[in-house]
Amino acid sequence: MAKSGDARRVPMVEREVQQAIARFVGRDLKDEVPGLLTITQVKMPADLRSARVSVSLFVTEGDEAEIMKDVLKTLKAWAPEIQAHLNHELKMRYVPKLSFEADQSMAKTLQIENLLRDIKKNEPK
């Protein structure tokens, strides 16, 4: 049976990992990543041995989808260094294995807003 502290532990570790990754990216990858990269969310299982890292990207020019693919490749290549940074900074028993994915929440929000706008536009007056 899980203790009540365990329920708070995973979200707390997720936030710490998110902040540590953001610091690493801001310091060590700022020249590797075009645009503004944000670590939007980290999700970890109860054993804390893996972390799914969601990222969003804001670019002013170019194909954002193609640039995001390149950024995800860069993050994957840098994953061992990021994991070493987590080990040094957070002193965790197990350093989580990182996987990176594009955060689709903003795109989904815009899609819903557009659908609602279309519905409102087509309503009889």
- Domain housing 32: 4-122
Q: So what's the pLDDT on residue 59?
A: 82
Q: So what's the pLDDT on residue 44?
A: 95
The percent helix, strand, coil of the chain (3-state, each to 5) is 55, 20, 25
Single-letter amino acid code for the residue at 104: Q
> How many domains, in total, are found in the chain?
1
* Share of residues in the chain with pLDDT > 70 (%): 90
Q: Which of 72, 60, 61, 81 is nearest to 104 (CA)?
A: 72
CATH number for the domain harbouring residue 117: 3.30.300.20
* Beta carbons of 55 and 42 less than 8 angstroms apart: no
pLDDT tens digits for range 63-72: 888 889 999 9
Is residue 1 very low, low, confident or very high in pLDDT (cuts 50, 70, 90)? very low
